[in-house]
């Protein structure tokens, strides 16, 4: 009997991650060597465990599935299959580029196909660099073919009325449990029931940046960034709001906005 396929699963939603793990455990030829609740954890676990296959949720806070792949060192790059809630049209890019995907909710038979494909590639001894190029090509095709239109306005229900909030007037969006608190340039506050990661996917990344696990900010309204002990930062908006920046996003902020 050949060695079992070593797999890492990364999904920030615990029920989805647990369900995927339970399906994998029903396969005798699979060994789960790590579970990650965030993209950052996924990078650390993959580089430590060196799995054969990584099942990555497409959309995770701070560092999504694409971000995980981009941060991995080439020598640590496993075979990759993305787990996504997008429909068949959106994931077609993965089929064209020979990188597998799993559509939520994941079906056991479809997961079996993914495992089989990974085993076949390993048996044919495909080199790491070739796999990395396949993933990169799939990401590029996905972003070109499946990019959804960005929101220009957000409807907010207030009793019997619906207030239309232009996206360009939003200063920041902060998660508060199951709710999102939206603050505008005029310092008006609106509350909507929506998941931050889902809303982030529908906002133009050139206009909004994630400052931490639960915060998005309008890039054009960041007036200054204060350096804090420990290498983190606090972003000060033109509205006067002060928003903490996580360690990971501090690095992203420096690379994208604090260099000439």
pLDDT in tens, 201-234: 889 988 999 998 899 999 999 988 888 877 678 9
Domains of the chain, by residue range, sit at: 5-145, 153-257
- The predicted pLDDT at position 32 comes to 97
Beta carbons of 118 and 53 less than 8 angstroms apart = yes
Fold of 5-145: Rossmann fold (3.40.50)
Of 159, 227, 230, 238, the closest CA to residue 191 belongs to 159
- The predicted pLDDT at position 30 comes to 97
Phi, psi (degrees; rounded to nearest 5) at 77 = -70, 115
List CB contacts of 18: < 8 A, sequence separation 6 or more: none
pLDDT band at residue 145 using 50, 70 and 90 as cut-offs? low
- The predicted pLDDT at position 97 comes to 44
Is a pLDDT exceeding 80 seen at residue 254?
Answer: no
Can you tell me the distance from the alpha carbon of 85 to that of 104, in angstroms, rounded to the nearest whole number? 5
Of 160, 151, 206, the closest CA to residue 182 belongs to 151
* Average pLDDT in the chain: 83
Is a pLDDT exceeding 90 seen at residue 24?
Answer: yes
Phi, psi (degrees; rounded to nearest 5) at 86 = -70, 160
Per-residue CA distances from 259 to 4, 10, 244, 252, 254 (Å): 46, 32, 20, 11, 7
Does the pTM surpass 0.85? The reply is: no
Can you tell me the distance from the alpha carbon of 219 to that of 207, in angstroms, rounded to the nearest whole number? 5
Rg (CA), the chain: 20
What are the structure tokens assigned to 90, written together?
A: 């959106």
CATH dotted code for 153-257: 2.40.50.1020
- The predicted pLDDT at position 217 comes to 95
Placement of tokens 């959804």 in the chain: 148
């Amino acid at each position: 009997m050949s060695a079992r396929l070593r797999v890492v699963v990364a999904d920030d939603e615990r029920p989805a991650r647990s369900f995927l793990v339970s399906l994998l455990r029903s396969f005798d030829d699979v060994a789960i060597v790590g579970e990650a609740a965030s993209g950052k954890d996924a990078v650390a676990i993959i580089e430590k465990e060196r799995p054969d296959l990584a099942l990555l949720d497409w959309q995770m806070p701070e560092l999504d599935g694409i971000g995980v792949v981009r941060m991995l060192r080439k020598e640590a790059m496993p075979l990759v299959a993305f787990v996504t809630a997008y429909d068949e049209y959106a994931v077609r890019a993965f089929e064209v580029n020979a990188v597998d995907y799993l559509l939520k909710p994941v079906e056991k038979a479809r997961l079996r196909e993914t495992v089989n494909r990974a085993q076949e590639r390993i048996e044919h001894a495909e080199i790491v660099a070739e796999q990395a190029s396949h993933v990169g090509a799939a990401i590029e095709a996905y972003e070109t073919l499946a990019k959804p239109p960005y929101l220009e306005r957000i409807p907010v229900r207030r009793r019997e009325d619906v207030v239309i909030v232009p996206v360009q007037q939003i200063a920041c969006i902060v998660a508060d449990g199951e709710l999102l608190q939206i603050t505008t340039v005029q310092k008006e506050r609106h509350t909507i029931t929506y998941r931050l990661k889902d809303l982030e996917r529908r906002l133009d990344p050139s206009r909004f940046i994630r400052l931490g696990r639960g915060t998005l900010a309008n890039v054009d309204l960041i007036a200054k960034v204060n350096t804090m002990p420990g290498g983190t930062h606090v972003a000060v908006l033109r509205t006067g709001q002060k928003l903490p920046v996580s360690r990971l996003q501090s690095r992203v902020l420096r690379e994208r906005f604090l260099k000439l």
